[in-house]
Structure 1
Amino acid sequence: MSHEGIRIVHEDEARRIDEQNRSLPQQATEPAKVRVNKTEGTGMEIDWKDGHHSAWNFTWLRNACPCATCHEEREQEGRRPGEPKKKPAAALPMYEPPPRPVLVSPVGRYAISFHWNDGHTSGIYSWDFLRRHCNCDVCSKKELKS
């Protein structure tokens, strides 16, 4: 809800916004090594300069696409990055091949881009975005506490 430039949010959303705006140490958002396991189809791994290790599967990455269209769609549906779309009720579900990148490209020194097998190409996954959405046990526990 908003009124003349004032937006009222729930406490959990305010915490999430604070977390997103919090600066991370530079070494926490600089990869030491990036592995995209495209041939194996397993996902991407990053060893960060601060010693942390993160890994994501391709399904999570595709569902977490940070482009404006995907971001707005997730917000409207109340989904978090990586959370899949709800499937429409149908008599026979249609087969969808699992998400896989057709092409992977660096974006400067700050991000990576995937061209997905479903034709989607507009997401730019910044190192900051990926670190903030680390799925490891340690980071998942921190998210539960906040």
Structure 2
Amino acid sequence: MSHEGIRFVSEDEAKRGDLAARELPKEAIEPERVKVHKTEGTGMEIDWKDGHHSSWSFKWLRDGCPCATCNEEREREGRKPGEPKAAPKELLPFYKAPPLPEKVTPVGRYAVSFGWNDGHTSGIYSWDYLRRHCLCEACRGSLV
């Protein structure tokens, strides 16, 4: 059940230990080191204080933007964070530049924000959000 972007977790979900329902340990959502490969145009990596390593491509990060507008659009279309929009059915598709951040800004001690080359700037990627959407083999089965 949800209401205007707020997800209410049932007791059953919490008991099952779903990743979305459980609180992560502090070390799991505190970065030891954050590397944003802006010059290379490849993506971002985080080494977490609990020893885990995560990485995301810029494409995944742009498609997984956690802002309210992008989140509502994904929910309407039935897409998960990081899942791209369906390609338009055009006879001759136009070239679309790959997503690259023009600006990367820390947000307090809890998040990072990107100013994307398509003009989008409203997503705040919290450490909690990024850890819950880790794409490594071990975490892949626990994605929200």
Give the TM interval when normalised to the shorter protein. 0.7 to 0.9
Q: Structure 1 runs of 4+ off > 6 angstroms? A: none
Q: Distance in 2 between matches of 1:89 and 1:77?
A: 16
Q: What is the alpha-carbon distance in structure 2 between the residues aligned to residue 59 and residue 100 of structure 1? A: 8
Q: What code does the residue aligned with 2:127 have?
A: W
Residue 9 of structure 2: aligned partner: none
Query: Closer, same or farther in 2 for the Cα pair 1:124/1:19, shift >3 Å?
Result: same
1:115 aligns with 2:115: yes
Equivalent position of 2:104 in the other structure: 104
SS of residue paired to 2:121? coil
Alignment partners' CA distance in 2, 1:62 and 1:88: 18
1:75 paired residue number = 75
Shift of 1:21: 2.6
Give the root-mean-square deviation of aligned CA atoms.
2.2
Which structure has the highest helix share of the two? 1
Q: Distance in 2 between matches of 1:19 and 1:25?
A: 12
Q: Which position in structure 2 is the counterpart of 1:143?
A: 142
Give a deviation string over 1:94-122, Cα, whole Å, max 9, x none: 10000000000000000000000000000
- Structure 1: which 5+ residue stretches go unaligned? 3-13
User: SS state of the match for residue 20, structure 1?
Assistant: coil
Gaps of 5+ in 2: 3-12
Write out aligned runs for 1:51-66 (5 A): 51-66=51-66
Q: How many angstroms apart in 1 are the aligned matches of 2:17 and 2:120?
A: 27
Kindly name which structure, 1 or 2, has the bigger radius of gyration based on alpha carbons. 1
Tell me the TM-score normalised to structure 2 length. Answer: 0.86
